[in-house]
Amino acid sequence: MDGLNVSIAFFFLVVGVCQLLRWLSKRLLSPGTHGCLAREFAGSLQLCMSCLELRMLMDIGPWGGGFGLDVVLTLLFLLSAVHSASFDGASANPTVSLQEFLLLESSLAATAAKLLAQGVGTGTGWALTRLYWSWELTQLHFIQNLIAPECSSSIRASLPHAAFVEGSCSFLFHLVLLKVRQSHPLCRVPALAVTVTFLTYTAGPFTGAIFNPALATATTFHCSGNSFWDYIQVYWLGPLAGMLAALLLFHGNIPRLFQKNLLYSQKSKYKVPKAKVTAQVESDKPQQKRKAGKSNSEPRA
């Protein structure tokens, strides 16, 4: 269990350093630079380093550390909750940034800056985690260093099946995100943490359940077993298709592309009360009778 304690201390250190980066960037940088670059960089760095260490525990822990999958899933739930609470509005996920762009909540320049910051953040997180593993502070890290050059692909299913799994995970995640994004943090944080934990438990054996293109690029693209195009289809195109399907199902359209609602009929926001309509019809009846009387009293030729 000493290795698990070291990993937990590592998680605390990563979150603390990234919180310090957010605080400094908020003090020293302009709001636009902080929102598009620094905040996404810190979030992606925190997410990548935490996920790499957690994945190491998931792969080696059951036979090298003496703890089961329940411990890893508990850590995953807690880390997901901490990430959701501490990201300060950052997504650290390219599909979420593209979703904000399609919802007209972010400009093209801001979205491109966020994607760049996410790529740099995940790359930096991968390099720092590999450096941390090279210190071999625990037996788990020693084993990880031995098997790291020979890492195998996380795709353990046929290519269409794997792409469908990643797309389905992204679809469910974005549906929950769209539903709770305006909710109070006390509801939003546990809902997202439960969703991530459930998807990882159910879809992890097939693809690793990453459903984050930037994170997948840093964690699995360098492993042997599949080509670069295979990884693109599963970990980029799959989550992107899932996000688009969730957005279309939730809103009925994609605001950046379509003005008309494609799935749901739009009802008028303003309803005329029935009492007024009835009163107006009854008031029109005497006028119609007078007009009819006048027309009958006119002399016929």
- Per-residue DSSP letters for 211-275? --HHHHHHHTTTSBSS-HHHHIIIIIIHHHHHHHHHHHHHHSS-TTT-SS-SSSPPPPS----HH
Answer yes or no: is 222 within a domain: yes
Answer yes or no: is 221 within a domain: yes
What are the start-end ranges of the H helices in 88-184?
94-102, 108-134, 139-147, 159-180
Answer yes or no: is 266 within a domain: no
Least confident stretch, 159-163, 195-199, 234-238, 280-284: 280-284
Answer yes or no: is 269 within a domain: no
Answer yes or no: is 256 within a domain: no
Question: Which letter, b or e, does each residue of 55-70 get, where b requires 16 or more Cβ atoms within 10 Å of its Cβ?
Answer: bbbbbbbeebbeeeee
Name the band, by pLDDT with cuts 50, 70 and 90, for residue 300. very low
Instruction: Please state, in angstroms and rounded to a whole number, the distance separating the CA atoms of residues 288 and 232.
Output: 72
Average pLDDT of the residues in 159-176: 97
- Cβ neighbours of residue 188 under 8 Å, at least 6 residues apart? 84, 180, 181
Answer yes or no: is 12 within a domain: yes
- Cβ neighbours of residue 92 under 8 Å, at least 6 residues apart? 40, 43, 44, 46, 47, 83, 118, 121, 212, 214, 215
Answer yes or no: is 150 within a domain: yes
Q: Which tens digits make up the pLDDT trace of 102-147?
A: 999 999 999 999 999 999 999 999 999 999 999 999 999 999 988 8
Answer yes or no: is 57 within a domain: yes
- Cβ neighbours of residue 167 under 8 Å, at least 6 residues apart? 238, 239, 241, 242, 245
Q: What is the pLDDT of residue 269?
A: 45
Is the per-residue pLDDT at 74 higher than 90?
Answer: yes
This model's pTM is above 0.75: yes
Instruction: Please state, in angstroms and rounded to a whole number, the distance separating the CA atoms of residues 118 and 296.
Output: 82
Average pLDDT of the residues in 210-239: 93
Count structural domains, the chain. 1
Boundaries of domain holding 26:
1-251
| Residues 76 and 198 sit within 8 Å (Cβ to Cβ) | no
The CATH number of the domain holding residue 5 is 1.20.1080.10
Q: Which tens digits make up the pLDDT trace of 1-24?
A: 678 899 999 999 999 999 999 999
Average pLDDT of the residues in 272-289: 53
